[in-house]
Structure formats: C-alpha cells, structure tokens
Structure 1
Amino acid sequence: MNLNKLADFQRKNYGLVIILAIIFTAFMLVGASKIYMQSDITKEWPQDLEIMEVQDQINNLYGVGDSVLITLRLDPDFNIENRINDIRDPYVIQSLMLFEEILEDESAVDSVTSASMFFENKPIYTTEMVKMHMDQSPASYRFFNDDYSATLMIVSASIGKDITKIKKIIDRFEENKDETFLPPGVEIHVTGMPFILNVILTFLQQDAVFTTALAALIILLLLFLMERSFSKGFIIFIPLTLGLVWTLGTLGWLNIPISVATVGVGAMILGLGVEYGVFVVSRYAEERKKHKQDKALQISVSEVGSSILGSGLTTIVGFSALTLSVMPMMQHLGQSLALGIFFSLVAALVVNPAFIIFEEDLEKKLITKAKKRIILKEKEVASRK
C-alpha cells in the first residue's frame, strides 16, 4: 500500500471519503440489525464429538426433555384466620391436579410428575383423607418437604436452550398460574435450567449494552482530556465507533451470533482500537506545527500508518488463531475480535485523516468568517463616527 498516495487522496477528496464512510456505515447498520444472541448454548459446543452425538441420540430415543421444577408453597407471611397450615390440604391437592391437567395440554410439555397421581379418582374431602391415601402410597411422600409446607411438581418440556421457546413456556406458566384457583396463602414458584438460562441470557444482553456504552463514554471523556479539545476528541472517537458498527454489521451479514463468549466484544473493540486513531491524530498535530497541511498529512499517514499496520496485523493474526479452536464460541470470539481490529485499522488509516482535514478546513472557514464580521463591524462603527 502506497500510504503517501493515500494521504494525498484523502487531503484532496476528504469529503468523498466521509460520504463513502457514511454510506458504508448505513449498509452495515442494516447488517447490525440482523445480529442475534445465540440463546442455545449447546450450539456453542463442538457438535461432532462422540459424547454430544450420544446425548442427542438418547434425547431422541427416549424423549428426554428439560426439567422445569414447580413448587406449591405456603406463604409464611400470609397471616389470616383459618389459613391453610398444611400443603396437604384438599384444596391445594385439587389445585395441583388442575395445574397438572393444564400443563399436560401444552404442546411443549412432554410429561408432568407430581403427587397428584396418587390421588386420582380418590375422595380427598379432608386433610385426613389425603394423609390416608399417602400412607397407602409411601412413594408420594417424596413430593413433599419434611414440614409439609411445600410440594414439588416436575415438568419435562421439549424447549431445549432456545430463548424464544423458553420465554413462551414462561409466559404460559404465568398464565396457567392464574387458572389454577390456588387457595389464599399458597404460592407457585417456577425454576429449572431453562428458566435459569433465560435469566442469565437476559443479564448478558443487558451487560453487553451497558459495558459497551460505559466503555464508549469513558473513552470519549479521556479523549477530551488528553487532546484538550472537544473537536479532536470527536475526530478520534467517531471513526472508532464506525469501526465498531462495521464489525457488528459484518457479524450480522455473516450470520455470526453474539454468544456467551462474545457478549463483551463491543467494549473490547473500543478499548483495543482507540489507540490507532490517537496515534494518527497526535502525529498530525506534531507535524502540522512544522509543515503545511499536505506534507504533515503525508508524514503522519505514511509513518504512523506503517507502524499501526504492523501492530494491527499481528493482533489480527493472534485473534484469528482462535478460529482454529474446536469450540465454536472461541471461533466466534476470534472472528469478532479480528474483524474489530481490522475495521479499527481501516477507520484510523482511511477515515481519521479525512476527518482531520475536514475539521481543520472547517475551522479555517469559521475563523475567516468571524474575522470578516469583525472587520465589517469595525467599519460600520468607524463610518458612524
């Protein structure tokens, strides 16, 4: 790459460079809108390992689903007269049986196991009758805790780790809770790996946005302090954010998902890529004190450009090595970071100089206009005298 020619082109056609960068960014924003969170973490594991294939075969042969645990529990803070003190109360058992019937009608539910199977077609008008049936079926005791304040229901559901299916089944559980006509003072609590996974993925998505936004804010403030100029801080920061958008857009267009491993990639790209823009802008400021605009830009782009190209390419190679990992999540991390460094380099070498010249020329024009206004005002004052 002839960096001197690149610098000359940027100085003469900085407006074109900026317009092309904006158009490319718009295209990448469309790609970024296609990016998604990989909710099924099993897809981030090696799929061709024998142990994974055996697991899939067992699931298919025996219909092994994901366990959802539901407990009906007495609320210890619920204090009214004649409240239920024993989870074996016949009203609770009837609600349990009704809840099981409702769940079994759900398409995603494979089976439901609870204490209600020990009371089917049996009279349960009083708590004593419930106890009698339990004594006749000792296995029923394993569904109750020691002080009989809670009972357990195990639901096998074919929802896998797909976040969409998990959210649907969660919504249905919430709806079904209202249809069970639970007596006052009895609560339903739902847990299990699908629900835990849903919470974790929700936190990861929130953290991805928060950490990227926080990193961007801190980096921008530091740039203002280091450069002692808002305009120069933005000159470095805007191309940096363009590099991040281009990275996310490329991930979207290539259908590379955000996973557990890559959820913090936005903050990492901003932190790793900011130095390239800082080097270019700082070197130009030094050279501009000694040379004219064209010469200063040539020296900055050619000398700093060759240095950051070498640094950036070695970093890209290092991250690209992760794509040889057997773990898909590590492959995606390597791809994301390699793309991020590549686009940060492109933004620093191509877009940063264009913004530098744009800002300098704009500042000159504004200063010239301000001087003309001052001269005109002075002439007006002089003519009045």
Structure 2
Amino acid sequence: MRRLNKLSTLLMKKPIKVTLVSIFVIIILFIGAKNIQMATGNETLINTDTTVYKDNEKLEEEFGGESIIVMYEGQNLLNLTNLHHMKGLENQLQTMDEIYSIFSPVTVVEQLSKRQFEQYKKGITEMSAALKNNQHINTMLAHSDILKPGLPENKKTLNDLLYDNNGKLRDLFSEVITDDEHLMMIIKFQGGIEDSSKSEIVSQIKTYLADHELKATKTFVSGKPVLDDAIRSSMQDSMKKMMLLSIFFMIIILSLTFKVSWRLLPLGMILIAIFGTIGLMGWLKIPITMVSMAVFPILIGLGIDYAIQLQNRYTEEMKEEDSLEQ
C-alpha cells in the first residue's frame, strides 16, 4: 500500500517526467520486439539441464543432428539429368558450415567412380611402363570418362557403376533408393544449429528446387527441420490472425458498450502491454513457443478488463471532483 501511495505521489508531483520516462521505456521495449524468435526445438519440450538433453547434445556433436530429406519421385530416376541436378544442390550446400554431411545416389556413384579411377590408373601406369610408346594410352586416359573420378557424362559408364554384372542394382544404393519410383538425398545438420539457420537452409533448398525444376521428375522436401519450419510459420500466421481478430472485436465491443469519452483508450493500453511483453521477451532471449503463445489471449483478456476498470474509475473520480467544485 505504501508503494502505491509513493507511486501516486510521484505521478502527481512529476507527471511530465514520469510520462517521458514511461515513453522511453516503451520505445526500448518495442525495439526488443525485433529480436523475438519462434522456437519448436527440443529445448521447448524438455529442460536443457536434464541428463537426457545433454546426452542428446553430445550425440549430435559427434554424429550430426537432424536431417532434411529431398525426395525425387518418378520413372527411370537413375539418369544423368537427375544426378547432375542433385550434384548442383550438393555443391550449393557443401559450402555451408551448418551442414554435417550429405548422402545421396551421387555420393555412392562418386565413391564407386573414384575407386574405379584409382584401379584403372594403377593398371594403366603399370602397363604404360612396359610399353615404349604410350601415346594411345595417354589419349584414352584424357578422353574416357571411365578414367575420371566424379559423375560420368556417358550413360553406359553410369550404368556400369549402378548395376553389377547380373544387371542388379548394387547394394550400396539401398539406403537412398527406396524403390523404382523414389530416390532421396539426406542432408544432415551439425549439432546445436539454431532454428533460424535451419529455416534459412530449408528456404534455400526449396528455392533451388523451384529454380531448377525437372520436367519428368517431381521433387519435394521433408524431415523434422522442414516440419518445424512450417510449424513456426503457422505460429506466426496464427498470432497475426489472433491479434487482428482481437482488435476487431474489441473495437466493436468497446464502441457499443463502453459509453465514455476515449472509449478505445483501453485498446491502446493493451496493445502497448502486448508489444511491451513481446519486446521484453526479445531482450531476454525468451522465444515464443506453442506453450507461451497461450499467455497472449490471457494477457489480452485480463489487460482489457483492468484497463476498462481503471478508465471507468478515473472517469467517476473526475465527475465527483467536478460536482464538488460546483
């Protein structure tokens, strides 16, 4: 009670200074709103001090974190066009520090090609040493993609790498080729990557697939990071809709039922409180989660109630003071 009396006394004695300080604090809080982030990671579900969470962090540091799956769907997928399409995406992602590993049919083909290249190179070196004139061998080495590591440019060379002598697909491709109509690229993140970085990489992958669309093959992106990114976008859209609908209905209710001057003033007060809360969360690095979103409807409901009561009480006191003066 004494604190309330001191606060009321301060407001009465120094109203301008208190108003200026309040405006300054509100501006600072509003600036913090730009730092707010949506979070859907494991830290929103389990305490970061628990043994389970720490063990999972160590596991991700050693073996990588979550994975994005880029799926290719269609007929006759194991062709040079699709593999070079994958290689282009792989080249773009390999420059990023957030990527732990990339595994795809391209990875397997390049491993086989490199192994084959080393075997042929060794054999040719031994054979050329026994021949006086190795001009034809050098020409073959320069022009045959069988003797070059990496993705081949010739379909027959590719088929030799994909299939064994019996025409069966090599077992090395079993992890990335699920059936005749689906093959995938597995992109694994480093451990402890922030949600914002994951969302940026997901966006870049989707942009690449949109800019390099394949005619006979469908592509789509999946995996937990993609789902989390969609959840964060949905949370943002839901918050915007909630705020707009709340403001709309409060304007209607206040206009029809609150018969005083400045009847929309409580709405302004509650908006300041909401944005101030979001700004404070931004400064304190507290992310908005699916749980913390429940605070805002409560804040709106209680805030508008108290603001109406305060304004109504102030109006009554002003009327009583006017009647006493008369």
Same fold? TM cut 0.5: yes
Q: Give the total of aligned pairs.
A: 278
Residue 55 (1) aligns with residue 45 (2): no
**Closer/same/farther in 2, CA of residues 220 and 107 from structure 1, 3 Å limit:** same
1:22 deviation in Å?
A: 5.7
Q: Is the 8 A contact 2:104 2:186 kept in 1?
A: yes
- Equivalent pairs: percent with the same residue? 17
In structure 2, do the counterparts of structure 1 residues 255 and 183 end up closer, same or farther at CA, with 3 Å as the change threshold? closer
Residue 167 of structure 1 is matched in structure 2 by 199
Distance 1:103 1:248, change over 3 A: closer
Equivalent residue in structure 2 for 1:150, among 178, 182, 188: 182
Q: Secondary structure at the match of 1:70?
A: strand
Residue among 280, 289, 299 paired with 1:259: 289
Q: Distance in 1 between matches of 2:191 and 2:60?
A: 12
**Distance change in 2, residues 1:217/1:293 (3 Å):** farther
Measured after TM superposition, the shift of residue 151 of structure 1 is 1.0
1:115 maps to 2:115: no
Aligned equivalent of 1:329: none
Amino acid at match of 1:169: I
1:70 equivalent in alignment to 2:70: yes
- Distance (Å, rounded) in 2 between the aligned partners of 1:135 and 1:100: 27
Q: Does 1:216 align with 2:247?
A: yes
CA distance 1:66–1:167, change in 2 (3 Å): same
| AA of the residue aligned to 1:67 | S
- In the alignment, which residue of structure 1 is the partner of 2:30? 32
Structure 2 stretches lacking a partner, 5+ long: 114-145, 147-151
Work out the CA distance in 1 between the residues paired with 2:162 and 2:38: 48
Match of 1:234 among 255, 264, 273: 264
C-alpha spacing 1:67/1:293, structure 2 compared with 1 (3 Å): same
The structural deviation recorded for 1:253 is: 4.4
Q: Secondary structure at the match of 2:183?
A: strand
* Partners of 1:183 and 1:252 in 2: CA distance: 42
Q: Is the Cα contact below 8 Å between 1:92 and 1:182 reproduced in 2?
A: no
What is the aligned partner in structure 2 of residue 367 from structure 1? Answer: none
- The structure, 1 or 2, with the larger RCO (C-alpha pairs under 8 Å, 6+ apart) is 2
Please say if 1:138 is aligned against 2:166.
Answer: no
- 1:248: how far off? 3.6
> 1:233 aligns to what SS in structure 2?
coil
| 3-state SS, counterpart of residue 34 of structure 1 | helix
The Cα shift of 1:252 comes to 4.1
**3-state SS of 1:154 partner:** strand
Give the Å deviation of 1:282. 4.0
Q: 2:236 aligns to what?
A: 205
Q: 2:241 is paired with a residue of what secondary structure?
A: helix
Shift in alpha-carbon separation, 1:22–1:196, aligned structure 2, 3 A: farther
CA displacement at 1:219 relative to structure 2: 1.9
Give the Cα separation in 2 of the matches to 1:90 and 1:144.
15
Using structure 2 for the length normalisation, give the TM-score. Answer: 0.68
2:227 corresponds in structure 1 to: 196
Q: Which amino acid aligns with 1:170?
A: V
**Structure 1 stretches of 5 or more lacking a match?**
75-84, 297-385
Report the Cα offset of residue 161 of structure 1. 5.3
Mark the CA change 1:89 to 1:136 in structure 2 (over 3 Å): closer, same or farther: closer
Per the alignment, in what secondary structure is the counterpart of residue 155 of structure 1? strand
1:371 is aligned to none
Q: Normalised by the size of structure 1, how large is the TM-score?
A: 0.59
- Tell me how far apart the structure 2 counterparts of residues 23 and 294 of structure 1 sit (CA, whole Å): 33
**Do the aligned partners of 1:118 and 1:137 also contact (CA within 8 Å) in 2?**
no
- Does the aligned pair in 2 maintain the 1:159–1:166 contact within 8 Å? no
Q: What is the CA RMSD across the aligned residues, in angstroms? A: 3.7
Q: Structure 1: how far apart are the matches of 2:5 and 2:95?
A: 72
Task: Find the residue that maps to 1:166 and give its secondary structure.
Answer: helix
User: Compared with structure 1, are the counterparts of its residues 88 and 212 closer, same or farther at alpha carbon in structure 2 (3 Å cutoff)?
Assistant: same
Q: Deviations over 1:296-353 (max 9, x none)?
A: 9xxxxxxxxxxxxxxxxxxxxxxxxxxxxxxxxxxxxxxxxxxxxxxxxxxxxxxxxx
| Residue type at the aligned position of 2:26 | M
1:200-257 deviation line (CA, Å, top 9, x unaligned): 112212322331232133123212211235x342243333333334434444444444
TM-aligned CA deviation for residue 46 of structure 1:
0.9
